[in-house]
Amino acid sequence: MARGQSGWKSKARKFADLMGSDGMLKSEVVPVETPTWSSLSGKPTNIATTDDIDANVTAASIKTKLQTVDGAGSGIDADLLDGKHASELGGGGYNMQVFTSSGTYTKSAGVKHIKVTVTGGGGGTRSNQTVCPGGGAGGTAIEFLDAASVSASVAVTVGGGGAYRTTTSNGGTSSFGSYCSASGGSWGSNFYNGIAGGSGSGGTINIEGGDGEGPHHGGGGTHGGAGGVSYWGGGGVGASFGSGTSGQAYGSGGAGKADNTSGGSGKAGIVMVEEFF
């Protein structure tokens, strides 16, 4: 047992002699040759020493090199957002054209996307009845378009509001060329029932106009129906023993009359074109 322990200790001492104080093999045991800069092959010819790297490789020189390959198809994503170049994105520029009467839209140069909001005219009310409902509101169509798909000029039609009169007087249809349209609200002619609003067509979003309110009876008097509410706001206000008012917001309906008073007219529609650059 003594001889075995002695041999083990002898081998341990020899192994310890090979280790340095840092726990690594001594360099004389495993010689390491450190290459010099001059011995390296394939290095740039204008860099003779390691000091030349700081002098030649600067932020400005890297920028100059990148600029020679940056751009469409370069594969460098520094100027891309989710894979799209800035030229493909809308960015800050905005313009709006509002039509309260018929006309022509002219597309601006450089526009990328277009949003169109079209509202038909509000319905009028009937004059040859003792009491009547309010006119319906015009419908609304909202369409989002790629500007490239829109003609350089587009005919715009704005539907008028229906009148207070004895014969049918619905609100007029508004349209943005053939892209989208919105019909007007119906005339408040029915003695008892509410009156239908118009509807949007061809839009990304199509909205029905609010119905005109039916008249009220009782309590010793009558009350004309309120005009239908449009996308833009409220219609005319009905009154007891008084005249109904005309539509207030674009495309809203006129209010019906009560007793021997008068009713209101519908409000004309509107077309709003928003451009994004």
- Asked, for residue 190, whether it belongs to a domain, the answer is yes
153 and 273 fall within a common domain = yes
Give the count of domains, the chain: 2
- Asked, for residue 84, whether it belongs to a domain, the answer is no
5 and 112 fall within a common domain = no
- Asked, for residue 153, whether it belongs to a domain, the answer is yes
Are 138 and 122 in contact, with CB atoms under 8 Å apart?
A: yes
109 and 188 fall within a common domain = yes
- What pLDDT is attached to residue 144? 97
- What pLDDT is attached to residue 1? 45
102 and 227 fall within a common domain = yes
Strands 153-157 and 174-176: antiparallel
CA distance linking residue 195 with residue 264, whole number of Å: 14
CA distance linking residue 23 with residue 266, whole number of Å: 95
- What pLDDT is attached to residue 189? 67
- Asked, for residue 50, whether it belongs to a domain, the answer is no
In tens digits, the chain (277 residues) has pLDDT values of 445 555 555 655 666 666 666 666 565 555 556 666 666 666 666 666 655 566 667 777 777 777 666 666 665 655 666 666 666 665 678 999 999 999 999 999 999 999 999 999 999 988 777 778 899 999 999 999 999 999 999 999 999 999 988 788 899 999 999 999 999 999 876 666 778 999 999 999 999 999 998 887 766 667 888 999 999 999 999 877 767 899 999 999 999 887 767 888 999 999 999 999 9
CA distance linking residue 275 with residue 277, whole number of Å: 7
CA distances from 263 to 63, 79, 128, 211, 255 (A): 73, 62, 10, 16, 6
98 and 29 fall within a common domain = no
SS (H, E, C) 20-32: CCCCCECCCCCCC
- What pLDDT is attached to residue 222? 76
Domain that residue 25 falls in: 1-33
- Asked, for residue 175, whether it belongs to a domain, the answer is yes
Classified as helix, coil or strand, 176 is strand
